Amino acid sequence: MVVFAGFLGPYDPTEQDRKSPYLPPMRLHLVDAQGHFHARPFVYSLTRREGAFDQYEEDTARPLPLKFFVKGARYRLLGFVPLRWHSFGTESDRIYLLGSDSYGRDQLSRFLYGGQVSLFAGLLGAGITLLLGLCVGALAGFYGGWRDDLLMRLAELFLALPWLYLLFALRAFLPLAVSPLQAFFLIIAVLGTVGWARPARLVRGVVLSAKERDFVRAARGFGATGGYLLRRHILPGASSVLLTQAAILVPQFVLAEMTLSFVGLGVPEPVPSWGNLLSSLQQYSVLVSYWWMYLPAFIMVPFFLGYLGLGSRLQQYGEPYKIGK
Amino acid sequence: MTLERRVATTGANCFLPRLSQGLLWALVWSFAAPIVAFPQQNNSKEEFLVLPGETGRFGGRVVVALRAEPKTLNPLIAADVNSREVIGAIQADLVHINRTTQSTESAVAKSWKISPDGLQYTLVLRRGLTFSDGYALDADDVLFTFRVYLDEKVHAPQRDLLLFEGKPISVRKIDPQTLVFRLPKPYGVAERIFDGLAILPRHLLEKPYEEGKMGQLGTLATPPNQWAGLGPFRLKEYVAGQRLVLERNPYYWKTDAKGNRLPYLNELVFLFVPSADAQVLRFQSGETDLISRLGAENYSVLSREQKDYTMVDAGPGLEYNFLFFNLNEPGEKTSAETPQKLRWFREVKFRQAVSAAIDREAMVRLVYQGRGSALWGLVTPGNRLWRDDQLPHPPRSLDKARGLLKEANFSWNTASNGGSTLVDSSGKPVEFSIITNSSNTDRSKMAALIQDDLKQLGMRVQVVPLEFRSLLDRVMQTKEYDACLLGIVSPDADPNVDINVWLSSGGTHLWNPSQAHPATQWEAEIDRLINEQMYARTFEQRKRLYDRAQEILWDYQPMIFLASPDILTDARKAVGNFRPAVLEPYVLWNVEQLYLRNDAVNASR
């Protein structure tokens, strides 16, 4: 869904509608105020109460019928197909199905676009982390000796470092302004390099035990090279570990991205990301006044659960040898 | 000699000489005894200051939250808001600025006279005043106080106020109640400089001062009997990391309309609560009784609760938020891009266009939820006497902004996605970053709005929230930034407190600080106007000069003024005489008059 954010979301996620800050989600109606039934769902436009900042009421005189496939803000589908079609919208006023934020930006569009950024960063970051972890773990476990010592001490060093403070220092060396694209790759790089130590240690453990197994010894006896052994016999055993790690890492990285935004290394406003959406909940007034600001967080929950489920299914499917009986 | 003025009324039990000095003290005591008797007689005719207003009830305590522990109780080194807030309740000044009328009135000095040439101020002290530890006050304390403030080695932040073109104010004692202050040059509002200059107890501080230990005094852990002031409260207890408790000063010199000696409260407690949100929670749970400064969001949260709170919107305060561009000469270390950007920023029409494109009304509505006012000049609408109503305040106009940019040889390239990019005469797209302090969400929000406003002019703006210290470092030291969004809170209504912002030689002349010579014609002109008003005799003359300076600022837009928030405060209904002002300290300025109503005193913790 997030891949087609531009199409599914009705608006540009950075577009500010300054007359509607903190507008609550509009309710879809089928029956109007006079009791007539309409086949096409519609919303009533919300007007701000006189003198109030964030109090709205439904204006039953102004129904906004929901239209599908409307022309709106330009966007690029999948990053390169320029389009103006959106899955739904209205003709005159703006429609907010998930409410709006403090600048009057559409939360639904922001959630979808934010997913694009966060999930992609999470997946890529997890990929890099696992790849690094796999290589280091396999090398250390398989070859052992001084390589093992060196790599594992390095991993321990990485685990022991106070990352947040190092990132502060890193921020000082970077140029002042970071464009959203640079920030995005920066996040991936940071996440990838910070996280490799734990999977590397796990992989090393798996490799250590696997290389002493009989079939590995047998293959070695037949003259298989180290590289072949690793590729064919040992690393497939580590796949289950990696998949579970991946399932844990992606949600972790979405949260980490939020921390990074806080340090000034994250995706800068106004570009949305799930981290940005969550961080608006840090304000007490938002927490107690605007319930719809929680919605992105609630929608993320089934998503992450689904991801964990996927991870465990993959693990079952991908397990080539049942260890034990 | 410190002992000579020891007042016998406090009783001998207060006299607890430290062991090492006991012998010496006893010796002095025997010689000094006949002299000591004399101030005692004065006590019968203490000259109280009678405050008008609601008569309250005695007793109880009020708890106030501070954002952080005060760094010090020593007025000579206090620079942070929290320290000033506490010191304000412990100390008193000669002449005080009334926070509601914004004009001066008598305090420790009963009256003052100005000589016809405007150079000489004669102040008469109130008779029979006593420090909070029972020692009498006389002119020697005031002499000592000014000696310390003016001492370069002490580095008192107030010292600059007492210098006039580098020459210090001089003080002379006529008799124990009368002092003469002589200014090197006439200065229209010299009595305002006395506000906030705490009169120091010579009997406690003279010795450490002579030993050069002034800077180490007045930590929060100071034993209460070694610290004294003329304010309504005195030190009682300090619990590190949690609270500071002040108790009633029994020698305070103000009374209510019925002649009762103030303050009403037995105790004033400061709790240390680090964040604004936590302060609201503490208030809701009943742990604190006052909030001295609320954000607009939290104000509406508390308003919606409709409990027994007194919510007061005291109106626009003296905080002005503004955007400024880096107009410094490029240094050796600046990047290659900087000269190019500097060409844009130095273009007056560019700055005017940015100013015209900013939607200030939306800022007030979205950032302050309508509880603020848009700004077009440095003096905020909260400053009743000094605001310039003649200053133009045009509504936002993108067309005007585009026109100005066109005149300055900027043009637009249409991009493939339908947006257009502003480019300068050499074809380079206009891109810059705005830094702002990350701890202030209001300013980050303003920056985000500006970002969107300028996007409509085709400028690509990045907002970079920075930690305050590194932000100041960039603006003041390294000068590596494009534009910056900041705010300043004036401590007083008189615009002279912002003199270092106005003068090109000033350290907070932010867009190009501490210049040896004014970099531009108009900065030289502002310097001239501000220096001239320093020595103008009447308010009308000064106002005219300041208005002219504000107009120059508006014409050249080195600072693009944005918005000013209202002072939002809140107290429990039980707190009486709660009358917040727009000058700091917003709610504690009349702390001696605050009281708890009937039921609250009985139910008091």
Query: Identity (one letter) of the amino acid at B369?
Result: Q
CA distance B345 to B207: 54
CA distance B588 to B580: 8
Under DSSP, the state recorded for B130 is B
CB contact under 8 A, A264 and B466: yes
Under DSSP, the state recorded for B157 is G
A312 contact B CB<8A? no
Tell me the two tokens of residue A69.
Answer: 């496939």
Between residues 99 and 138 of chain A, which touch chain B (CB distance below 8 Å)? 102-104
CA distance B578 to B100: 12
Instruction: Quickly count: other Cβ atoms within 10 Å of residue B399's Cβ.
Output: 9
| Partner-chain residue, chosen from A16, A74, A176, that has the shortest CB–CB distance to B418 | A74
Under DSSP, the state recorded for A106 is B
Residue A141 CA to chain centroid, in angstroms? 32
CB contact under 8 A, A178 and B304: no
CA distance A128 to A134: 10
Crossing angle of helices A180-195 and A235-263, in 10° steps, is 130
Chain B partners of A177 at a C-beta cutoff of 8 Å? 432-433, 462, 464, 482
Which residues pair with residue B413 across a beta bridge? B421
The dihedral formed by the CA atoms of A91, A95, A97 and A102, expressed in degrees to the nearest 10: 160
pLDDT given for residue B201 in this prediction? 94
Between residues 155 and 174 of chain A, which touch chain B (CB distance below 8 Å)? 172
Residue for token pair 């034993």: B223
For the stretch B243-268, pLDDT in tens is 999 999 999 999 999 999 999 999 99
For the stretch B141-160, pLDDT in tens is 999 999 999 998 888 888 87
Angle at A298 between CA B366 and CA A291, to 5 degrees: 35
CA distance A202 to A200: 5
Query: Identity (one letter) of the amino acid at A129?
Result: T
Contact predicate B148/B265, CB 8 Å: no
CB contact under 8 A, B366 and A268: no
Contact predicate B122/B134, CB 8 Å: no
> Nearest chain B Cα to A83, which residue?
B417
Nearest to A187 by CA among A115, A126, A267, A111: A267
Give pLDDT < 50 ranges for chain A.
323-325
B361 contact A CB<8A? no
CA distance B122 to B172: 10
Angle at B472 between CA B466 and CA B477, to 5 degrees: 125
DSSP B253-290: -EE-TT-PBSP--SEEEEEE--SHHHHHHHHHTTS-SE
Residue for token pair 């929290």: B82
The C-alpha of B301 sits at a distance from chain A's nearest C-alpha, in angstroms, of 6
Nearest to B393 by CA among B560, B514, B596: B560
In this structure, chain A runs to a length of: 325
> Nearest chain B Cα to A104, which residue?
B366
Tell me the two tokens of residue A167.
Answer: 């990132």
Three-class SS state of B561: strand
The C-alpha of B416 sits at a distance from chain A's nearest C-alpha, in angstroms, of 9
Under DSSP, the state recorded for A320 is -
CA distance B70 to B84: 8
> Nearest chain A Cα to B481, which residue?
A176
Instruction: Quickly count: other Cβ atoms within 10 Å of residue B217's Cβ.
Output: 18
Contact predicate B229/B32, CB 8 Å: no
Chain A partners of B364 at a C-beta cutoff of 8 Å? none
CB contact under 8 A, B365 and A172: no
Chain A partners of B436 at a C-beta cutoff of 8 Å? none
Tell me the two tokens of residue B290.
Answer: 């006052």
Choose, out of B279, B281, B297, B456, the residue to mutate when testing the contact with A (most A CBs < 10 Å): B297
| Partner-chain residue, chosen from A74, A179, A270, that has the shortest CB–CB distance to B451 | A270
- Give per-residue burial for B140-170: e unless 16+ CB within 10 Å, then b: bbbebbbebbbbeebebebbebbebeeebbe
The C-alpha of B359 sits at a distance from chain A's nearest C-alpha, in angstroms, of 10
Rg (CA), chain B: 27
Contact predicate A125/A195, CB 8 Å: yes
Between residues 182 and 241 of chain A, which touch chain B (CB distance below 8 Å)? none
Crossing angle of helices A180-195 and A107-143, in 10° steps, is 40
Backbone angles phi, psi at B396, to 5 degrees: -60, 135
Termini Cα distance of chain A: 41
Per the rule left: phi > 0, alpha: psi between -120 and 50, beta: everything else, B102 is left
CA distance B168 to B97: 22
Instruction: Quickly count: other Cβ atoms within 10 Å of residue A247's Cβ.
Output: 21
The C-alpha of B298 sits at a distance from chain A's nearest C-alpha, in angstroms, of 6
CB contact under 8 A, B451 and A269: yes
Between residues 297 and 326 of chain B, which touch chain A (CB distance below 8 Å)? 297-298, 300-301, 304
The C-alpha of B383 sits at a distance from chain A's nearest C-alpha, in angstroms, of 25
Choose, out of B273, B436, B452, the residue to mutate when testing the contact with A (most A CBs < 10 Å): B452
- Residue partners of A129: CB distance under 8 A and separation at least 6: A191, A192, A195, A196, A199, A249
CA atoms within 13 A on the CB side of B61: 18
pLDDT given for residue A2 in this prediction? 66
CA distance B538 to B118: 11
Tell me the two tokens of residue B320.
Answer: 């002005």
Measuring CA to CA, how many Å separate B240 from each of B91, B221, B233, B359, B560? 22, 8, 19, 46, 42
Chain A partners of B444 at a C-beta cutoff of 8 Å? 269
Choose, out of A22, A77, A284, the residue to mutate when testing the contact with B (most B CBs < 10 Å): A284
| Partner-chain residue, chosen from B300, B418, B482, that has the shortest CB–CB distance to A53 | B300
Choose, out of B280, B366, B477, B566, the residue to mutate when testing the contact with A (most A CBs < 10 Å): B366
Query: Identity (one letter) of the amino acid at B381?
Result: P
CB contact under 8 A, A177 and B464: yes
Under DSSP, the state recorded for A49 is P
Residue for token pair 């002095």: B28
| Partner-chain residue, chosen from B281, B449, B463, that has the shortest CB–CB distance to A268 | B463
CB contact under 8 A, A283 and B463: no
Choose, out of A171, A260, A285, the residue to mutate when testing the contact with B (most B CBs < 10 Å): A285
> Nearest chain A Cα to B363, which residue?
A18
Residue B18 CA to chain centroid, in angstroms? 38
Chain A partners of B438 at a C-beta cutoff of 8 Å? 264
Measuring CA to CA, how many Å separate A287 from each of A274, A290, B59, B301? 17, 6, 38, 10
CB contact under 8 A, A264 and B438: yes
Q: Is B348 exposed, middle or buried (0-12, 13-18, 19+ CB in 10 A)?
A: middle
> Nearest chain A Cα to B416, which residue?
A82
Q: Which helix (H) or strand (E) holds B124?
A: strand B120-125
Tell me the two tokens of residue B426.
Answer: 């050499």
Crossing angle of helices A235-263 and A197-210, in 10° steps, is 170
Tell me the two tokens of residue B5.
Answer: 């003025």
Nearest to B64 by CA among B86, B34, B46: B86
The dihedral formed by the CA atoms of B442, B448, B454 and B459, expressed in degrees to the nearest 10: 130
Give pLDDT < 70 ranges for chain B.
1-44, 332-336, 415-418, 599-605
